[in-house]
């Protein structure tokens, strides 16, 4: 089975992917999130694996927009605590490290540690790419900030675990699939929908009242402006019940009466680990 993710080998997405599917699955790194959706759509991979929210950076709106634009469904949610690791070439020693390569976000999250150790920050395009560059280079005083998985993939020395300042940094991922690739034994306990409201004050409340009527607890609600059409918004909502329940079916049915349109983004089991 093949699963696509955005990034190169050792990206945090790949680490979360292994947590969910196990180590034996074949992973396919893509340049962009678009490419992940394309591979799922074309059938080149069975599943796609995409980040959708992070406790520090917030919602990955690009992926919600792609879910909205594509004919795929969310079939699972996965949470990964982001633990940044300081990696270097085999035999390197922490005391000798002068430079740390990584994506600006990761550098920022580890700023306090790097300052303490007097290590200079060197920005790169992504975290796993930084690890690969350090591993293939010849500098013993140069490290990368990336996932622990990179140590294994690029045969590197782990100099320090958990060097991030904020310990509650967690990313939520979605597994996406074409309808025909949803497993037969698929169970659902959570549902995510997108809908667009009509143009009058309180239109959103009229939509949300339906969720209340059926006692559906919202766990996420976010408005997203539509750049091409000022003052129009798509809302992304998640609630704790599966599409198989009568309440959810009735609620979505009623929602289509009040909203301009409703799109089911997916229904999936509630993850055990979460924030």
CA distances from 213 to 9, 92, 170, 193 (A): 46, 61, 32, 17
Place of tokens 């394309």: 38
Q: Find out whether 170 and 79 touch, Cβ atoms under 8 Å.
A: yes
Closest distance between a second copy and the C-beta of residue 169, in Å?
8
* Residue 21 annotated among the catalytic residues of the structure: no
In this complex, which beta carbon is closest to a second copy, that of residue 76 or of residue 208?
A: 208
Cα R_g (the chain), whole angstroms? 21
Backbone conformation region of residue 43, classed left if phi is above 0, alpha if psi is from -120 to 50, else beta? left
Asked if 61 interacts with a second copy (CB under 8 A), we say yes
Applying CB under 8 A, which of residues 1, 205, 257, 260 lies at the interface with a second copy? 205
Identify the DSSP state of 96: G
The single residue of 33, 37, 173, 195 carrying the catalytic annotation is 173
Q: How far apart are CA 2 and CA 48, in angstroms?
A: 9
Q: Does 219 bind a second copy (CB under 8 A)?
A: yes
- Give the HSE-up count for residue 135: Cα atoms under 13 Å, Cβ half-sphere: 20
Candidates 89-97, 146-154, 188-196, 208-216 — which segment interacts with a second copy by CB under 8 A? 208-216
DSSP element (H, E) containing 257: helix 246-258
> What are the tokens at 200?
């009058």
125 or 261: CB nearest a second copy: 125
171 is catalytic: yes
Which residue of the set 171, 191, 192, 197 is catalytic? 171
Cα separation of 117 and 119, whole Å?
Answer: 5
Q: Does 272 bind a second copy (CB under 8 A)?
A: no
Q: Which of 69, 112, 158, 221 binds a second copy (CB under 8 A)?
A: 221
- Count of residues in contact with a second copy, rule CB under 8 A: 47
Binding residue for a second copy, selected from 9, 83, 186, 224, defined by CB under 8 A: 224
Residues of span 157-176 touching a second copy by CB under 8 A: 168, 170
CA 175 to CA 164: how far, in whole Å? 26
Residue nearer to a second copy on the CB measure, 38 or 62: 62
- Residues counted in the chain: 275
Confirm or reject binding of residue 59 to a second copy (CB under 8 A): yes
Q: Quote the least distance from Cβ 270 to a second copy, whole Å.
A: 11
Identity of the residue, 1 or 274, whose beta carbon is nearer to a second copy in the bound complex: 274
Which of 174-182, 185-193, 212-220, 248-256 is the region at the interface with a second copy (rule: CB under 8 A)?
212-220
Other CB atoms within a 10 A radius of the CB of residue 77 amount to 23
Sequence-ordered alpha helix ranges (H) in the chain: 12-21, 33-42, 61-69, 104-109, 111-116, 127-136, 149-153, 203-213, 246-258
Interacting residues toward a second copy by CB under 8 A: 55-62, 103-104, 107, 121, 123-126, 168, 170, 201-202, 204-206, 208-209, 211-213, 215-225, 227-228, 230-231, 233, 235, 274-275
Residues recognised as catalytic: 171, 173
């Amino acid at each position: 089975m093949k699963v696509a993710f955005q990034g190169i080998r050792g990206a945090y997405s790949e680490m979360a992917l292994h947590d969910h599917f196990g180590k034996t699955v074949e992973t396919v790194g893509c340049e962009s999130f678009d490419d992940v959706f394309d591979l799922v759509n074309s059938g080149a991979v069975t599943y796609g694996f995409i980040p959708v929210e992070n406790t520090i950076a917030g919602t990955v709106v690009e992926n919600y927009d792609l879910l909205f634009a594509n004919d795929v469904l969310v079939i699972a949610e996965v949470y990964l605590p982001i633990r940044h690791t300081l990696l270097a070439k085999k035999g390197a020693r922490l005391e000798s490290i002068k430079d740390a390569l990584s994506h600006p976000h990761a550098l920022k999250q580890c700023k306090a540690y790097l300052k303490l150790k007097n290590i200079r920050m060197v920005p790169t395009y992504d975290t796993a790419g930084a690890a690969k560059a350090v591993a293939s280079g010849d500098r013993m005083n140069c490290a990368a900030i990336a996932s622990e998985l990179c140590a294994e993939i690029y045969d590197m020395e782990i100099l320090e675990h958990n060097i991030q300042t904020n310990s509650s940094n967690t990313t939520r991922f979605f597994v996406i699939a074409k309808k025909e690739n949803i497993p037969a034994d698929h169970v659902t306990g959570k549902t995510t929908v997108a809908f667009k409201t009509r143009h009058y004050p309180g239109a959103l409340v009229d939509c949300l009242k339906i969720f209340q009527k059926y006692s559906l607890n919202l766990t996420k609600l976010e408005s997203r402006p539509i750049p091409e059409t000022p003052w129009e918004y798509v809302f992304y909502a998640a609630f704790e019940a599966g599409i198989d329940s009568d309440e959810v079916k009735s609620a979505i049915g009623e929602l289509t009466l009040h909203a301009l349109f409703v799109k089911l983004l997916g229904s999936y089991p509630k993850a055990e680990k979460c924030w």
